[in-house]
Structure 1
């Protein structure tokens, strides 16, 4: 297949290095390829460790894996107690090798799809004048809660007793937020909110949900942000499941 020409769109996909993020990103990429198989090339970026995990998985020819070094702790060493070390490494040590890889690609990149849980893809795209679509791999409601929490935290010191004052968050979700703030490492919360804050500088926000399921939340987010927000549906490997189903028949 010829991957050159003016009509080719080159997408660089950068998931957070975890299965709950890599799988949805890869499912999205396979769906994009299925829509325009001759016009999209996707460079899917993973660490060398993760290439060992998924490198042999079936994928369309238009999706090519590319690697950056293992700058984060090994996956088997990641635990609840030391997750902040893994999280911080993903925030601070992956950006430079990602940019080096970006410089080495033969075909110019037209758009970056970056996981929201990485705070730097938006900055990289802005510096290089490459549009960035931020992908959120959890519910739109949870994203909305974290967005309002981030806005609130910029103006007030974040404490448990002040959470009920966050605008845009229903009383039903306040206890969920309290659980997050109480149960998570403060460093993780701070890093997560920094990631959320970067979305305002993206060009698109992709939500792994459907409009009918979270219509009110999605419409509220669309009224907040000046750029397009797309509910892309559940990012599960349903295309692979459909292929296996058809093979049986």
Structure 2
């Protein structure tokens, strides 16, 4: 049920936000809602989450005008999600619709607009039946959206399925909105049953977007102009870049006494620490994990590694040159002057945060949109290096190679062009969210639309 809240006496709009129940989806949706409220405090937001996710974020700080409403869990636990992502995704697409419709029947006041995660395509059907405007929020890059929208071109040109070991280095340049892409960087392009099922789910949500009234991307136009322009030419509905959709408006002073790792960072030399995060639930093989950990330890470079599970084993493998934590405030860590590099799985949230803070990347993508994000980091924006140089699926990167790569990457006298470019992209991001910037302008335009006021 929705939490009791005093409806603002001069409320002008009731936004219902419903994210896909995953960390990389919930966080940017919440950040978007906070940005909307920063523009107009007379908006009421009902943020719809599963009971499990209310437990994860229910105590987080938020504006008073955001209230939580819950629906039942779609699968017993997040651990199940990590173990069987295909089943979890299928459950989200089939089991959330009915309880969400029941919630809509109970909500007061009625929604003025629904912002939904694009993967929850059934929201469009429910909203259209009730004549409620709906905005599709795609939580990944616009370039990746363009890839999925035109995935049929891979089949047409004989590039699906892909044998990555043999053809992964081959490039195609026929995806609108994208420069040439290695076949290895396309998502779900192998012929495994798991990939086929996930690809089917992903492709099925795309046609529903045209039935929405708005399409929102948590990106910055200047980072992906080619994709945004191509999509605007193809879609009849308004498209807005509302990025970076990270908690950049909620960066107060750090309570170092609460988070001891900031005290540790304070004692490290400038740009000397490698921050490592491989995401919240996807992972590499145990053998590759061990090689990475041993390589990090052998490099001698100070590190701060966030690993939700297996902390004890990781500490044994890495040695005592750095910290291993189950969680940290990633954006604030990346902003700390001691951080000199970001070993990342290249999820879109982490990619945006790294670019926003001007930290160069060691790109180690695992799955789905991450290889394409890694391509942008390395080839388009030129703010990082690839860890995995060969595209063969069974390639194991040994600790000696990892250790050597980390030392070269963290050498401040090394790739000066990369570090300069990182600072340039940081400035570009900050300019986009400032008054008159591309993201600030698009957020204002979207608000004007849903409030029915002149822009």
TM-score range, shorter chain: 0.7 to 0.9
| Native 8 Å contact 2:51 2:72 kept in 1 | yes
TM-score (norm 1): 0.87
**Corresponding position: 1:203 with 2:213:** yes
* Counterparts of 1:180 and 1:71, CA distance in 2: 24
- Which protein shows a greater Rg? 2
Partner residue, 1:240: 250
CA distance in 2 between counterparts of 1:145 and 1:31 reads 28
* Moved segments of 4+, more than 6 Å: 153-158
Q: Distance in 2 between matches of 1:109 and 1:154?
A: 41
Asked whether the equivalents of residues 15 and 22 of structure 1 are also in contact (C-alpha less than 8 Å), the reply is yes
Find the aligned partners of 1:179 and 1:107 in 2 and give their Cα distance. 41
Within the candidate set 41, 44, 47, 2:44 is matched to 41
Work out the CA distance in 1 between the residues paired with 2:195 and 2:76. 18
| Correspondence for 1:107 among 93, 106, 109 | 109
| Mapping of residues 1-249 of structure 1, within 5 Å | 3=7, 8-37=12-41, 39-79=42-82, 82-149=84-151, 152=153, 159-160=160-161, 167-168=175-176, 170=178, 172-176=180-184, 178-182=186-190, 185-241=195-251, 243-244=252-253
Q: Which has the higher contact order (CA 8 A, sep 6+)?
A: 1
Measure, in 2, the Cα distance between the counterparts of 1:211 and 1:83. 31
**1:208/1:232 contact within 8 Å kept:** yes
Deviation at 1:61, TM superposition (A): 0.5
Unmatched 5+ residue regions in structure 2?
Answer: 163-170, 255-455
Q: Give the Å deviation of 1:204.
A: 0.5
Task: Give the superposition deviation at 1:191.
Answer: 0.6
Change (3 A) 1:108 1:69: same
Paired residues, number: 241
1:3 CA displacement: 2.0
Q: TM-score, normalised by structure 2?
A: 0.49
Across the aligned residues of Structure 1 and Structure 2, the Cα RMSD in angstroms comes to: 2.7
- Structure 1 residue runs without a partner (length 5+): none
CA distance in 1, matches of 2:212, 2:22: 22
